Structure 1
Amino acid sequence: MNKLLERWGNADPAFKAFLLGVFFLGINAGVLSAAFNNYLHDSFSLTSQQRGFLEFPREFPGFLVLFMAGLLAALPVRKWAITTSLLTAVGVAGLGFVSPTYNLMIVWMLLWSAGSHLFMTVESVMGLRFAKEGGHGRRLGQISGMTNFAAISGAGFVWAVAKIAGPSIYRWSFFAAAIASVVSAFMFARMGKSGEETAPGNKRFVFRWKYKWYYLLNIIFGARKQIFLTFAPWVLVTVYGASPGLMAALALIAAAAGVVFRQAFGALVDKVGERKMLAADSVILFGVCAGFAFSAFRPLLYFLFILDNLMFAARIARTTYLNKIVESKADLSPTISLGVTLDHALSMSVPAAGGLLWAAYGYKAVFMAASLLSVASLFTALAIDDGKRKPATSPQVQPLTPY
């Protein structure tokens, strides 16, 4: 513990302020992860098909990240971070206190979503900036682990409030999430000019064929991600009757495990390379799909739900892979933003298609279809060159020796 405190005391003040901002924004994410699906179910009585279609507007700001990043390109990334926190705070407060109708709820959801999605670029760019050479995966893993640690507080708050707040659970939860977001904006502001990273080269848009595998990895992840963010918890809530308290407990366990898991994942990326780690993620995804499609054993489904949450750490490998192949560091912000946009181009359409598939053939068909994504993900992962492959060596020919 003393060594940890000593390391914290010696850390870059700008990095400490950034990490604290990540922590408070992570509390917001933990609250929403634990409560949002139950909030929709209890407040608006959505069907599975309606829940699928709702993902289109919820993910639309993610599709717009490339354009939002273009508008903010001339500003330091620190100011991007402040903007994301304030947008998130306003949106979440609106969900809790000014959502008497479904349509108005969507307006507040769009603001919350815009802030959350833009922060994906901020987190990656700042994480790479604060990393030492050869330790990019480790640094991103630390930041991701801090997010998970914060999510424990958010999910734990929902779990505790669920026992005493009754019908007011969502107001209390979203109020706490909004306050946490405001505090995160304050911490990002404290980074000061020493923590500013002007959007490199003020580039608004970058598209290079050299980055094709990075683009494809994001497209596949966008489809895979939304199936599990939307339908895995929806199966647990509507098919197996999971309560807000249980969903919060699962989110709490996933976050607690993620504190260690994501740091270990980042360190392994540095050690063995992105190719092997992304391939492992694809194999695990196939197993998770098979479990949700063919098993009704609740403890197994709870375990798979947690495991899939942990494997979202694969984003670390995608980011470090891009960092290895970029022609210029000025390409990072616009390329990561384009990756988020491509991810969400699929995120907006897949849930609606999944909702139709569920309505026609049942929820198992959704996860059977998702297993095909794991195969595509595996082939893409094996196609990338992360610099860790051993070059093929031709057998040495021994010279003939005279008799």
Structure 2
Amino acid sequence: MHEYKKKQMYLYLIVLSICSTAGLQCWATLFDNFSVNIVGLDGHHIGALQSVREIPGFLALLVTYVILIIKEHKLSALSIIILGAGLFTTGFLPSFSGLIFTTMVMSFGFHYYETTNKSLTLQYFDKLSSPLVFSAQRSYAAAASVVVGIIIFFIAPLLSYKTMYILFGGGIGICGIWAFAKNPADKDILPQKKQLILKKEYWLFYFLTFMAGARRQIFMAFATFLLVKKFGFSVQDITLLFLFNNGINFFINPLIGKFIVKYGERKLLSIEYFFLILVFIAYALVDSKLIAGILYILDHIFFNCSTAISTYFQKIADPRDIAASSAVGFTINHIAAVVLPVIGGLLWMIDYKIPFLAGAFFSFISLCFVQFIRTKPATL
């Protein structure tokens, strides 16, 4: 067994990452059909809800202050409990205002876990092993998504949305409680600065993080909605797509970690953004249900490459800046995410192609700036 896998924090973060992804997977699989078929929402409602979902990510910088009160690994577990609670209550409030509330609760849990997870991984694992740990987390999370997708596929015709939300939300909440009772912390870890940190030498990390948030949000807000609205994908169709997608990601993620270790972040991110330009342009032009589904899978595969932005930051950062900078980075990532879905929703009403062409433009800008990355390869 690799040395990094022996750390208690490794298993702790793997379990919580599985819960976080399973929760988001359940929410994403059911959301568009629940919104359209049960609540009766349209494009501008979806855009508004997606913006609301990103507000907690925008407020991730508050993590810097929350960890003054509660230890960072405890906050990770508490975040998963909150995520479960948000899912649990979704089915009880089938209205636009109800969805705003439950989406906000779920999102606070998800985003605060993602912030602390990134921070803890960079603190507890060195530059050589952190890409492999991030990749392992994503790989296990993809496997969990496959399991969630299979379950939803078979129970969707049998159970109500309310019952499915209760089952998944309750299960995730219980796992969060289990983790809250654990203590995987290492006393030898370098203490983190407990204030907001913005440094000009981190400018490229901030910029790439912002652009990743912008292009990711266009995908999150409108790609699945396109599949449901234009191509008539059902809950079962979306679930099958998620299954296939996560099955591929289970095998690809470990390769991404190894690629970063061997070739570095600049090469991986250049490949990602080049192909994303093509994917977004294709979204705007496609008329085939099958090709739209393939584009969705490709988009998901390339999203996994964003791990390289975090590992790039680890190589250039003061180790004491990691917790605060992870929180600030998450907020920067979500500045665009709060604004873009609402604007995109309005642009969608003019022509659904516009948000996707904007995604291609953002990917091109990112491709240009990625060329400024300069790091030395991590060595033993």
Under a length normalisation based on structure 1, what TM-score does the superposition of the two structures give? 0.88
Q: How many residues align?
A: 377
Equivalent position of 1:178 in the other structure: 169
Q: Deviations over 1:47-92 (max 9, x none)?
A: 1122112222111111001023322245322111121011111111
Give % identity.
Answer: 22
Change (3 A) 1:355 1:76: same
Q: SS in structure 1 opposite 2:156?
A: helix
Equivalent position of 1:341 in the other structure: 331
Query: 5 Å matches for 1:198-213?
Result: 200-213=191-204
Give the Cα separation in 2 of the matches to 1:35 and 1:304: 20
Give the Cα separation in 2 of the matches to 1:370 and 1:353: 13
1:193 deviation in Å?
Answer: 5.0
Output the amino acid matched with 1:329: P
Output the amino acid matched with 2:143: F
Retained in 2: the 8 A contact 1:30–1:154? yes
1:201 deviation in Å?
Answer: 2.8
Equivalent position of 1:331 in the other structure: 321
Query: Which one of 370, 374, 379 corresponds to residue 385 of structure 1?
Result: 374
Query: Which one of 320, 341, 344 corresponds to residue 351 of structure 1?
Result: 341
Q: Deviations over 1:369-390 (max 9, x none)?
A: 22111111101111111225xx
Change (3 A) 1:288 1:333: same
Output the amino acid matched with 2:363: S
1:262 deviation in Å?
Answer: 1.5
Output the amino acid matched with 1:43: I
Q: SS in structure 1 opposite 2:195?
A: coil
Q: SS in structure 2 opposite 1:205?
A: coil
Equivalent position of 1:54 in the other structure: 49
Q: Deviations over 1:180-207 (max 9, x none)?
A: 3223313423531545798933422100
1:172 deviation in Å?
Answer: 2.6
1:339 deviation in Å?
Answer: 1.0
Equivalent position of 2:352 in the other structure: 363
Change (3 A) 1:63 1:14: closer
The answer to whether 1:284 aligns with 2:284 is no
Unpaired segments ≥5 residues, structure 1: 1-5, 389-403
Equivalent position of 2:63 in the other structure: 68
Output the amino acid matched with 1:61: P
Give the Cα separation in 2 of the matches to 1:358 and 1:112: 26
Give the Cα separation in 2 of the matches to 1:324 and 1:127: 13
Deviates more, 1:227-236 or 1:196-205: 196-205
Q: Deviations over 1:316-356 (max 9, x none)?
A: 10110000000x21211111111110111100111111111
How much is the aligned-residue C-alpha RMSD, in angstroms? Answer: 2.2
Change (3 A) 1:276 1:7: closer
Give the Cα separation in 1 of the matches to 2:87 and 2:219: 22
Output the amino acid matched with 2:340: V
Retained in 2: the 8 A contact 1:91–1:111? yes
Equivalent position of 1:397 in the other structure: none
Deviates more, 1:371-380 or 1:53-62: 53-62
Equivalent position of 1:40 in the other structure: 35
Under a length normalisation based on structure 2, what TM-score does the superposition of the two structures give? 0.93
Change (3 A) 1:186 1:18: farther
Query: Which one of 134, 140, 145 corresponds to residue 146 of structure 1?
Result: 140
Change (3 A) 1:62 1:306: same
Deviates more, 1:280-289 or 1:22-31: 22-31
Unpaired segments ≥5 residues, structure 2: none
Query: 5 Å matches for 1:247-286?
Result: 247-286=238-277
Give the Cα separation in 1 of the matches to 2:130 and 2:77: 24
Output the amino acid matched with 1:386: T
The answer to whether 1:164 aligns with 2:158 is yes
Give the Cα separation in 1 of the matches to 2:339 and 2:187: 36
Change (3 A) 1:363 1:100: closer
The answer to whether 1:216 aligns with 2:207 is yes
Output the amino acid matched with 1:315: S
Equivalent position of 1:90 in the other structure: 85
Equivalent position of 1:400 in the other structure: none
Retained in 1: the 8 A contact 2:276–2:363? yes
Change (3 A) 1:138 1:241: same
Change (3 A) 1:372 1:243: same
Change (3 A) 1:280 1:197: farther
Deviates more, 1:368-377 or 1:69-78: 69-78
Q: SS in structure 2 opposite 1:219?
A: helix
Deviates more, 1:246-255 or 1:172-181: 172-181
Output the amino acid matched with 1:289: F
Give the Cα separation in 2 of the matches to 1:151 and 1:238: 23
Output the amino acid matched with 1:363: Y
